[in-house]
Amino acid sequence: MRQIFCVFIAIFLLISGSCIAKQKKNRDIGSNNIYRITLYDSFGKVSSKLWTIANIEALGARRMSSSYFDRALKYSDTEFDAVSLLKIIDQFQLKNDEDAILLNCFDDYQGLLSLSDIHKYDLHLVTKIKVRLGSSKPDWLNPLLVLVPDGKNPPFLERFLTANIKELKFVRLKDYYMPLKKVADVSIESRQGFEVYKNNCLFCHGLKGKGGNKGVRLLDVYSFSKDEDQKKFLSDFKNFHDKDNADKQDVKQFVTDVQIKTVIEFLLAFKKK
């Protein structure tokens, strides 16, 4: 009887320890990550500083909500610990006309925020996320995360929802977009498509060495020069990026049918070039 009791206690402790470890892992996602903030000097040399969640939160983290985030992710009552991006920017001396921050992510997504938008909308970086009990949380939804505070109303775009960030890199917008803008300048429709693409698509579907690599290379999958190929692209976009997407990649909510057709004109300009 004593032996059976000891075995029972051992199994109980093993299960309890496993549950505690699992709960801790879920609670502390991202807490052990190292984040890099990168600057370039006037000679093109890189200067990087490594940060932890504790370093970032020491700048003044506060608990907050975001109706903008909840609307995009179809959540409610999500809670965040977040730090103003302005407080992070203030830690650096920008000497080369940098006017944007490139956001490289652990899952090969790549966001981009202008400093003017960061100031205008008081954008924050999330260090902890607490979704409402019972809500599903996709793998990519981890700190660091860009957050629009309540009371601020930027345009409703994919741009303001970058998550899983591992590096912040100061850049110049003009230099970054130049290879794409040169191609887009062939027509009004193509220029319009470029604006839509850079605000919603480039973060996953890179072009000419710009943007992320999380999604497929669209120019390798679609020719865009044939009607049936354009129809397939539109169909695939709507099917993959709809509101019922299990991975919560609902890009369709940010882009109208007219806008996605201008994206085709922009991508078609690459094929013609």
Residue 9 inside a domain? The answer is no
Say how many C-beta atoms besides its own lie within 10 A of residue 188's C-beta: 10
pLDDT band of residue 248 (cuts 50, 70, 90) is low
Residue that terminates a domain, selected from 126, 155, 171? 171
Query: Are 167 and 194 part of one and the same domain?
Result: no
Residue 66 inside a domain? The answer is yes
pLDDT band of residue 32 (cuts 50, 70, 90) is confident
pLDDT band of residue 17 (cuts 50, 70, 90) is very low
144 preceded by cis ω (within 30°)? yes
Predicted confidence (pLDDT) at residue 138 exceeds the cutoff of 70: yes
Query: Are 187 and 132 part of one and the same domain?
Result: no
Residue 52 pLDDT: 94
Contact, 177 vs 46, CB < 8 A? no
For residue 31, the enclosing domain spans: 26-171
Residue 14 inside a domain? The answer is no
Query: Are 34 and 167 part of one and the same domain?
Result: yes
Query: Are 87 and 74 part of one and the same domain?
Result: yes
When mean pLDDT is compared across 22-26, 133-137, 180-184, 246-250, the lowest value belongs to 22-26
Residue 40 to residue 97: CA distance in whole angstroms: 11
Query: Are 129 and 96 part of one and the same domain?
Result: yes
Residue that terminates a domain, selected from 153, 171, 189? 171
Predicted confidence (pLDDT) at residue 21 exceeds the cutoff of 70: no
Query: Are 156 and 41 part of one and the same domain?
Result: yes
Residue 12 pLDDT: 34
Query: Are 149 and 230 part of one and the same domain?
Result: no
When mean pLDDT is compared across 136-145, 187-196, 231-240, the lowest value belongs to 231-240
Residue 89 to residue 139: CA distance in whole angstroms: 28
CATH classification at residue 46? 3.90.420.10
Predicted confidence (pLDDT) at residue 159 exceeds the cutoff of 50: yes
Query: Are 160 and 180 part of one and the same domain?
Result: no
Residue that terminates a domain, selected from 121, 155, 171? 171
Predicted confidence (pLDDT) at residue 26 exceeds the cutoff of 50: no
Which residues are bridge partners to 207 per DSSP? 210
Query: Are 37 and 163 part of one and the same domain?
Result: yes
pTM value surpassing 0.75: yes
Contact, 208 vs 179, CB < 8 A? yes
Predicted confidence (pLDDT) at residue 74 exceeds the cutoff of 60: yes
- Strands 46-51 and 35-40: what pairing? antiparallel
Query: Are 46 and 159 part of one and the same domain?
Result: yes
**% of the chain at pLDDT higher than 90:** 60
